[in-house]
């Protein structure tokens, strides 16, 4: 994917003193108030972005939790961090995310729940990877889900060293 200007523009918007645009982006979640987000999205990504639900979704998710880090990994890695030491307790949420098919009706509300959980952490999100994944969703959803699953279910090497079996020796 070519370098997107959306995330740098969202970061600039977040660092500005004007909180109105982010508030308007958060109104995207309700069909009754979504029109408040349209001018902000058009200014950030161009008028044609309004025809691209993945761009609108990334902007609305960022407005919910504007904590971006390139080191955060994909959404599977973020879910793994949310789950912490007990991934079984979060697995139902993650499986719901993986079962999503349609970007707008399935994936969007599941991602919103994940982003709100990350906000409680507070855990950063890599919105650049998320934007790339959502842009390719309609053509590569299964590949993206597999990558997310690998990130979530992979055991970090530090965890392997600190298992109860090796700690007891």
CA distance 138 to 119: 27
The number of CA neighbours under 13 Å toward the Cβ of 110 is 21
CA distance 61 to 111: 8
- Flag whether pLDDT at 12 surpasses 90: yes
Cα dihedral across residues 35, 36, 39, 45: positive or negative: negative
| Chain-centroid distance, C-alpha 18 | 23
pTM: 0.88
pLDDT, tens digit, 9 for 90 and up, residues 20-33: 999 999 999 999 99
- Beta bridge mates, 68: 125
Q: Compute and round to an integer the Cα radius of gyration of the chain.
A: 17
pLDDT, tens digit, 9 for 90 and up, residues 80-137: 999 987 777 899 999 999 999 999 999 999 999 999 999 998 999 999 999 999 999 9
Q: Angle formed by the axes of helices 75-83 and 108-120, to 10°?
A: 50
pLDDT, tens digit, 9 for 90 and up, residues 41-92: 999 998 889 999 999 999 999 999 999 999 999 999 999 999 987 777 899 9
- Flag whether pLDDT at 156 surpasses 80: no
How confident is the model at residue 113, as a pLDDT?
96
- Beta bridge mates, 125: 68
Mean pLDDT across the stretch 140-165? 76
The number of CA neighbours under 13 Å toward the Cβ of 111 is 31
Considering the four listed CATH numbers 2.60.40.1890, 3.30.70.100, 1.20.120.50, 1.10.520.40, the one that applies to the domain covering 6-155 is 1.10.520.40
**DSSP string across 75-139:** HHHHHHHHHTT-HHHHHHHHHHHHT--SIIIIIHHHHHHHHHHHHHTT--B-HHHHHHHHHTHHH
How confident is the model at residue 47, as a pLDDT?
85
How confident is the model at residue 3, as a pLDDT?
62
What is the residue extent of each domain of the chain?
Answer: 6-155
């Amino acid at each position: 994917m070519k370098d997107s200007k959306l995330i740098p523009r969202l970061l600039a918007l977040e660092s500005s003193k004007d909180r109105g645009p982010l508030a308007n982006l958060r109104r995207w979640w309700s069909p009754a108030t979504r029109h408040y987000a349209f001018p902000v999205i058009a200014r950030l990504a161009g008028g044609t972005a309004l025809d691209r639900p993945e761009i609108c979704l990334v902007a609305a998710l960022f407005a919910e939790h504007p904590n971006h880090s390139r080191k955060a990994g994909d959404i599977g890695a973020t879910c793994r961090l949310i789950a912490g030491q007990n991934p079984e307790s979060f697995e139902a949420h993650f499986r719901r995310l993986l079962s999503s098919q349609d970007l707008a009706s399935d994936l969007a509300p599941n991602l919103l729940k994940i982003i709100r959980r990350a906000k409680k952490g507070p855990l950063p999100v890599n919105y650049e990877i998320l934007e790339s994944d959502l842009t390719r969703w309609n053509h590569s959803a299964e590949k993206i889900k597999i990558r997310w699953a690998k990130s979530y279910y992979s055991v970090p090497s530090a965890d392997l060293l600190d298992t109860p079996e090796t700690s007891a020796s």
